[in-house]
Structure 1
Amino acid sequence: MALIPPFFLDCVVAIGIIKPDGNKHWIGTGFLFGKFVKQKEGNEKEYKVFLVSNKHVLKNHASVILRFNPQDDQAATDYPASLKDKDGKDLWTGHPNDNVDIGVIGINAQKLKDEGMKFGIFQSDDMAFTIDKLKEIGTTEGDFVYVLGFPMGLVTSDRQFVISRNGTIGRIRDLFEKRSTDFIVDAFVFPGNSGGPVILKPEMISIGGTKSNSNAALIGVVKSYIPYQDTAVSQQTGRPRIIFEDNSGLSLVEPVDYIFETIEEDEKRKSQPPTTAIANAGGSA
C-alpha cells in the first residue's frame, strides 16, 4: 500500500556544497519539476525540466552538487551544478517578488537518463495543484500532507533516500483570500528541509457536503519553520537578558503557482532554452 506514488520520492534531490577541506556538506533540498511543452505521438508528452528549490539555498554559491541514485544498487553519483557563469552572473532564476522564496534552474534530464540515474519529475499538467485547483477540490485546514526532504543534512554516505514527514495544513484560507503569499503546515522542518516538496495526501473519505481527493499531488515548496521566541528576564533589573528561539512545529510553504511564475521569469531572461545545471558526474559518493 502506498499513499505517496513511489516515483514522487525519486523526484527529490539532495543539494550540497564542497567545503574548502574537500568534505561534502548537505545544505538543502530540491526537486525536479517538468513544465509541460507539448503532446507527442501516442501518450508521450514533452517536458522542460527544472530543479526547484529556495532562493536562500541557491544564493551565494558558485556551484552545488546534486545527488542521484543509479538504477541499480551502486553508490550514488554527485553531479556538479554551476550556479554562476564565467562572468559571475547567476544561471539560476529567483521569483521576482523578494518575499517569494523560490528559485529554479534548467536540468539536462536526458543526460541523467543516458547515464542510468533513477529520477522522476513532478509533471506540471497533472501532478501539481495550483491555488485554484486547491480551492476547487475543497482543500482546507486539517487536510493531511507529506513533507519530503533531507532535514539536518541527513543524507547517507552512499545513496540518496529522502525522508518523509507527515503533517496537516494549519492555515490556508488567508492564501485563498490573497491576504498572504504562503500557507502554513503543521509539520516539523529543520535546516536541510528548505526547498523540499509538500505533497497533499489522497483521501477517499470525506464528511458530508465536502469533496474527496483521490490523487497525491505537489502543492508547495517548504520555505522555513516559524520560530517561537521566549525571553529570559533579569529578576534584579526586570530587563530582558537572553532571547531563546525554538522551532514551533509550524512551517511556511510557498504554493505551486510561484513555481510556474519563476519558470516564466526564467524564460523571459533567456532567449534560448534554459542552460543545463548538470555537468559531468563528480564520481560516486
Structure 2
Amino acid sequence: MGINTIYLLIYVLRHLKNMKKHSLLFLILIIIPKLIMAQDYLTTDILSRVFHMKYKTQTGTTFLVAKDSVNYFVTAKHVLQNPKYGEKLTVEIYQDSLWKTLTGNVYFDKTNDVDVALIMPEGFGFVQSGISLKNIQTIIGDEGYFLGFPYGLSSLDKGKINAGFPFPLVKKAVFSGTTTNNDVQTIFLDGHNNPGFSGGPVLFKDRMKNGDNKFHLVGIVSAYLNQQNDLITPFGKLKYKENSGIIIAIGKEQIDTIIENIKTP
C-alpha cells in the first residue's frame, strides 16, 4: 500500500461522520482497487513451473528453471535418495491424475554435501521458465512464498489451464536470517513447512528496486527444524518432536554452482 493511499484512508476514517454518501462511495471506489492491486500474488507462469514429483516411494516437489537455453528440474537431493553424480534416473511427474515418467541425468555439488539436485531431462523440448533467477537482495523480515505439494495435496487442473498438471499449494514465509559456510548459503524462514514441500521454490520480491513487481527465486526448500518437547503423563515424562516453524532452505546460488560444474567437469 502506497503512502498516498494510507493518507487517503486516514482522511476517510477521520471524516466518516461528516461525509455525504456519494462522496464516501467515490472515495471507496478509489481506495479499494488500490488496496487490491497492492497485494502480493504469484502469477500463473510461476505456478505452472512447479511440479509434483515422485522417485520410488519418495514424493516431493520439483520446479523448472532455464539457463543458457537449457532446462533443468530442480529439487531437494534427499528426494532422490542419495543418487550418484551424473547417473540416469527415471522420476515420475503427476499429470492428468497419473504418474508419468521423466528420464534425465542428475547432478549436484560434488564438493559440498548440499541438499539440492538438478535433473537434465531427456527428450524434453525447451520450455522457457517463468521462475526468475535474478540475483536480488533479500531483506530480513520481508515476506515471501514457498510452493509445493505437502502430503500430496494440490489444486487440480480441472479446466486444463496447466495442461493437466496440478497447481502447487502456496504458503507464506518470513525471511528470518541466513548464514554461509563453504560458499553455500543456508536461509532460515519463519513459516510452517510440511513433508512434500521439499525441493520447492522460495520466492521473494526485490524490494530494493522500485518498479520490480516480480517474484524471484531465492532458495530451495530443504527441511524444517524440529524441537523436542517433554509431555508429563501419569506414566512419566514422554519426549516428542514438534515442528518448530523454522524452515531451512538452500540459497539459489547453488543452482549456478551445479550448472558450472556440469559445463566444466
Larger radius of gyration: 2
The question of 1:101 aligning with 2:100 is answered: no
The question of 1:244 aligning with 2:240 is answered: yes
Residue 232 of structure 1 and its aligned partner are, at CA, apart by: 4.8
Identity of matched residues, %: 23
Q: Residue 255 and residue 232 in structure 1: after superposition, are their counterparts in 2 closer, same or farther (change >3 A)?
A: same
For 2:102, the equivalent position in structure 1 comes to 81
Q: Does the aligned pair in 2 maintain the 1:166–1:187 contact within 8 Å?
A: yes
Higher RCO (CA < 8 A, seq sep 6+): 1
Q: Residue 144 and residue 178 in structure 1: after superposition, are their counterparts in 2 closer, same or farther (change >3 A)?
A: farther
Q: Does the aligned pair in 2 maintain the 1:169–1:186 contact within 8 Å?
A: yes
Q: Does the aligned pair in 1 maintain the 2:155–2:169 contact within 8 Å?
A: no
Q: Residue 94 and residue 144 in structure 1: after superposition, are their counterparts in 2 closer, same or farther (change >3 A)?
A: same
Give, in whole Å, the separation in 1 of the partners of 2:42 and 2:230: 41
Give per-residue Cα distances to partners, 1:92-119, cap 9 Å, x unaligned: 11222443210001125754x7xxxxx7
What SS class does the counterpart of residue 101 from structure 1 fall into?
Answer: coil
For 1:35, the equivalent position in structure 2 comes to 67
The question of 1:56 aligning with 2:78 is answered: yes
Residue 52 of structure 1 and its aligned partner are, at CA, apart by: 0.4
Give, in whole Å, the separation in 2 of the partners of 1:53 and 1:28: 8
Q: How many residues align?
A: 214
Q: Residue 178 and residue 59 in structure 1: after superposition, are their counterparts in 2 closer, same or farther (change >3 A)?
A: closer
Give per-residue Cα distances to partners, 1:121-144, cap 9 Å, x unaligned: 146xxx2243xx32xxxx221111
Pairing of 1:1-285 with structure 2 (within 5 A): 3-17=41-55, 27-36=59-68, 47-59=69-81, 63-68=90-95, 75=96, 78-82=99-103, 91-108=105-122, 110-111=124-125, 121-122=129-130, 127-130=132-135, 133-134=136-137, 139-155=138-154, 159-172=165-178, 174-175=179-180, 181-201=185-205, 212=210, 214-232=213-231, 242-269=238-265
Q: Does the aligned pair in 1 maintain the 2:187–2:248 contact within 8 Å?
A: yes
Q: Residue 164 and residue 223 in structure 1: after superposition, are their counterparts in 2 closer, same or farther (change >3 A)?
A: same
Long gaps (5+) in structure 1: 20-25, 37-46, 69-74, 84-90, 114-118, 204-209, 270-285
Greater share of helix: 2
Q: Does the aligned pair in 1 maintain the 2:154–2:169 contact within 8 Å?
A: no
> What is the RMSD computed on CA atoms of the aligned residues?
3.2
Give per-residue Cα distances to partners, 1:218-265, cap 9 Å, x unaligned: 11100101111114579999xxx6431111111011111001111222
Residue 76 of structure 1 and its aligned partner are, at CA, apart by: 5.2
What SS class does the counterpart of residue 96 from structure 1 fall into?
Answer: coil
Q: Does the aligned pair in 1 maintain the 2:175–2:188 contact within 8 Å?
A: yes
Give, in whole Å, the separation in 1 of the partners of 2:245 and 2:71: 32
Long gaps (5+) in structure 2: 1-36, 84-88, 157-163
What SS class does the counterpart of residue 99 from structure 1 fall into?
Answer: coil
